[in-house]
Structure formats: structure tokens, C-alpha cells
Structure 1
Amino acid sequence: MANFSPTVRHRRLLQELRQLRGAAGLKQEEVADHLDWSTSRMTKVEGGTLRISVNDVRAMLQLYGLREGAKYEALVQLAKQARERGWWHAYSDVIPQWFQVYVGLEAEASSLRNYEPELVHGLLQTEDYARAVYQAARVMDAPDEIERHVSLRMARQDVITRSEQPMHFWAIMNEAALRRRVGGACVMKDQLRHLVEVSAQPNVTLQVLPYGIGAHAAMLGSFAILSFSEGASEVAYLEYMTGSLYLEKPEEVRAYTLTYDHLRASALDPRDSIAMVAKLVKEDL
């Protein structure tokens, strides 16, 4: 799969358009009037919940005083790329729009920092472990839908295994995620062995947050921080059962970055973490 995401292109485009509008001293209502839009539509466009056509981007650039030239052409090209369909759209029958956004961000992230308290992160899961997770968590889904979810999860792992520009993935997992037997003893032991193997990759770092640490900085739950190499702002991502939150304000991302730094300091170092996982493989689960 190509290291390309229209989702990231779309967010970069909106960031540029907001900055240009601000530099032109225009309010959303003024732009909406000029384009013969409702204010609601303008709000949705800048908020990223409504896609924008290439012609509308051209009209906005003209309004903001950006004439044809290198930057103008670059933003028009960005608008074209933002309207393309990512590979994950082939799975749109089983994943909601809010998660498609995340997969799009993940596909082009240069790095991902994640904390998981309950389970092994999806990018590190074996097929059998992933299947057991979905069978437990999606009790209303038919078997073929479960298999579609598993197939998507396996496809997503390309971001850390691809030969060109693999994502730098730093995963911190609570000890509970390693001791919770998912799918039975054999499935769990295979999963633990897989963690040892994948953590040997130079772009993957694994740490375990042991029970003995007691209270810690992420007691409120899992989260992820995605970073990008092409100028897009960092995103802190939080997921719940029926949706997700994407936090992009600098102060919000800083809060989660600080939390993650505290977790890294509290967790076992990577070498001791892998030793713990390897030891669990030999224990009775």
C-alpha cells in the first residue's frame, strides 16, 4: 500500500484555508455570503465534516487574495488529492465514518504513540487474537462481518511492516493486556510470541506498565498521539464505543504528550518489557 492518505491531505488543506481566511481578515459569515453558502455549511467545511470541491477551493483562494502561482497550484493539487478514496474505503461496509478518519490518519502518520490498558494494540495483534477480540466485542455482527473487521485490522499493519518509510510505533501496554487470556491459552501464547518478534523491528518500541507501579498518569483510559512529517498538525485520538474524539489544539496535544512522557518513565524499559513478555510465554495462562 502507498504511504498516502487523502484524510491527511484534507486536514492539511483545511488548515491552510483557515490560515488564509484569517490573514485576509474575513469571518466565516462573509465567506459564506460570497460563495452563496449557508453559515452552517461554511462551519462544516472548515470543521472537516463536509468535503469541499476543487472548484470551491479555487473560489476561496481567489477570495483570500491568493493568485495563481506555486502556492495556489499546490493547494489546488492538495484539494484534488483530498477527494481521492483511500484503500480502507473498500471496508466501508463494516467500519463507521468516524473510524475511517482514524485509519486515514494512521495510514500516513510518521509516528504513533499509544497507550492500551485492556488489550494488545491492533497493529500488533495476530489474526486469531483479533478475531477473538471482535467475537467478544461485536456480539451482534455476523461471522462474515467479523472476518471483514479482522481483514481490515491485518491490512492496517502494513504501516509498520512496509519497506519504505514504516511508521515509528511506540506502544505502552498495561500488564493486564498481557495477562488477559483472549481466545484461549494457545491464541494468547501465539500473541505474546508475536509481540516479542515484532518488537525486534527498529521502528517498533514496546513498554509494559506493570501492576506494581500502582496509580499512573493514564488511569482514565487509552489514547493515541499521531504525528506527521509533511506539516500536518499532531492529533491526539480518543475512542469510545460509538465514536471518537480528534484533538488538535496545541494545548490539548501537549497535555497528552506530557501524560505519555510520564507513562514512559513509569513503565518498564523496552528490554525489560520484552523480557517480561517472553517470560509470560512460558507461564501457564
Structure 2
Amino acid sequence: MAKVTPTAKKLLLGKELAYLRDRAGLSQTQAAALIEKHQTKMTELESGQASITLGDLLLLLKGFGVTDEAYIEALLELRRGNHQRGKWTGIRSMYSESFRTMIDLEENCDLIRTVESEVPPGLLQCEPFIRSLFAHDPKDLDDRVKARLVRQEIFYKENPPQVAFVISEAALRRQYAPPEVMREQINYMIKLSKLPNIRLQVLPFKTRVQHTAIRDCFVLLRIPSPGAAGPLEFAYTENLAELRYMDDKRIVAAFDQSWARLTGLAMSFEETRRFMRKVAGEYS
């Protein structure tokens, strides 16, 4: 069976179903019996790994005692088109299967917070810099570049998310591209940082960090819910071996605390822009 890409709608619907099942005092096995399915079906639904038919959703909501028509309509809207399989064609097919969940989450977030240590975050990269990053693998280069740039459309959409970044000075000085491209990349980040929904802070080398440092790069994502279960909150990390999407409340809270410490240590927004202009000038 092909791997299913959990979409934001599937994840939101799954969280709502888990909330309603718990509120009704039912186990996953008991809930699955309402739609004549095995317990594993509820596990898949609640984790965003499976789709549900209209009939089964209505049966579950009836079994959970949901009578509010507006709430029911909100959940039905989450079900409509939540597979989004046609989305991954054209330049979007350049995203790896494991990263497609991130793209869908980004497009549905109201808050994105990123910590990066070694390279400018993907959401802030300009075209010449992206081309330099992928220069070693020229196959489908134009589509790779377009696929990464299209992610930045979330900055300009109606009701855009609030997007915040803390990056290490190393991300400005590590030369992934020729000096003129590095300068353009830094100036591009300065330009984006002036958008009303973007906040950018740099943590300079000289800052004494004691027990807090940018050791682990991560992204915190929050996706608002139209239902009663509250927003989806994820911590995202990646390395050469794997990408991880973690929604455990304790894990997310730990990353949130790390974010708070780092933003307190990093330069202010204006100090960051002045510092970045200085570094850009050194590439002249």
C-alpha cells in the first residue's frame, strides 16, 4: 500500500475525532464498532493516516453525541478534499514524500517559528542562493528552485501566518555560495524581515549562551482548528536520517521553552538588521 501523506485537514479532523471520542467516554475499539470497523481504523483516522467516508463520519458524530449543526458542518468541511493527492504534481512533485506534510502544514498555519544554525532557513532563501545549494545536482534544477520559492507565497496570502526566525551568525557566514550571492541572500532576508508578519533575530557568536545554544534546529508549527479540540501544534526536526513531526505536548513544550530562551538571548529586530547589513558588506 502506498504511503499516505497526512494533510493538515486530516490531522485536524483526526484530533477532533479523538477529542470527541474521549469526551464520549469510548475506547477506540468501541468507536470503531460504530462504523463496523476494526480498532486500527480509529487509530489511523485519529493520526491523520486514513480518510473517512461521509457516511462513517456522520455515524461517528451521532455515536459521539454531537448535535451542534455548525460544529458538524465544520467537521464535514475538514473531510472534503482532505486527501489532496493532486497537489503533488508539477513543481510540487519536487518535494520529497516525507516533506510534503510540512508543506501542507505551512500553508495552513497561523504561527511558524524556526530555529536554524548553519544555513538560512528555506522559507527565507532567494533564488540565486537556492541555485547554489543545488548546483551539485543540476537535474530538474529549475523545478527545484521554483518549488522552494513557492513556499514563500504564504507570506503574502490573505490572513498570512505570523512567521518568526532565530538564526545563528553561522548561517550568515558559512559560505554556501559565491560572495556576491551570499550578500544577496542576506539582503533578501533583511527585505523579508520588514514584512509585518515576519520577525527575524540573529544570535551572534559573542553572545554568552551558557546552557542554551542553537544545538538542535527545529520548527514549531501551529494550525488553528475550526472545532473544539484546539489547535494542532507540532515540533519538526530533521537530520540526514529522518524527518520527525512530533505532537506530544511535553515535547512541544520543551521546544517552546527553548524558543523562549533563544529569543531572549538573540538580538532585537532592529539590531539584527543592522548586524546583517554589516555582514553583507563584508562580502563586498
2:123 and 2:12 map into 1 onto residues whose CA distance is 25
- String of CA shifts for 1:40-96, please: whole Å, max 9, x gaps: 333222112223333321222233233473322321222114244575554453223
Q: 2:177 aligns with which of 163, 177, 183?
A: 183
Work out whether 1:217 is the aligned partner of 2:212. Answer: yes
Query: Match of 1:269, as an amino acid?
Result: S
2:153 is equivalent to residue 158 of structure 1: yes
TM-score scaled by length of structure 1? 0.86
SS at match of 1:213: coil
Residue of structure 2 equivalent to 1:264: 263
Matches of 1:241 and 1:54 in 2, distance apart?
Answer: 40
Aligned to 1:134: 134
Using a 3 Å threshold, how does the CA distance of structure 1 residues 86 and 203 change in structure 2: closer, same or farther?
A: farther
Deviations, residues 212-244 of structure 1 (Å, cap 9, x unaligned): 125452443111112234442222211223532
> Could you say what secondary structure the match of 1:217 adopts?
coil
Equivalent runs, 1:191-206 vs 2, <5 Å: 191-206=185-200
1:58 to 1:241, Cα distance in 2 relative to 1, 3 A? farther
In 2, are the aligned partners of 1:89 and 1:100 still within 8 Å (CA)? Answer: no
Q: Which residue of 2 aligns with 1:275?
A: 274
> Any conservation in 1 of the 2:200–2:272 contact (CA below 8 Å)?
yes
Give secondary structure in 1 for the equivalent of 2:160. coil
Q: What is the rounded CA distance, in whole Å, between the counterparts of 1:48 and 1:132 in structure 2?
A: 36
Q: CA 1:73/1:270 → structure 2, altered by over 3 Å: closer, same or farther? A: closer
Q: Percent identity?
A: 29
Indicate if the aligned counterparts of 1:205 and 1:270 stay in contact, CA closer than 8 A.
yes
Q: Which range is displaced more, 31-40 or 102-111?
A: 31-40
Change (3 A) 1:23 1:167: closer
* Residues 8, 232 of structure 1: 8 Å contact kept: no
| Matches of 2:37 and 2:205, distance apart in 1 | 55
Secondary structure of the structure 1 residue equivalent to 2:131: helix
Residues in 2 aligned to 1:120 and 1:40: alpha-carbon distance in whole angstroms: 41
Structure 1: gaps (5+ residues): 1-5
Structural RMSD (CA): 2.4
Relative to the length of structure 2, the TM-score reads 0.87
5+ residue gaps, structure 2, are 1-5
The residue that corresponds to 1:233 in the other structure is 232
CA distance in 2, matches of 1:158, 1:111: 15
Which AA in structure 1 matches 2:199? Answer: T
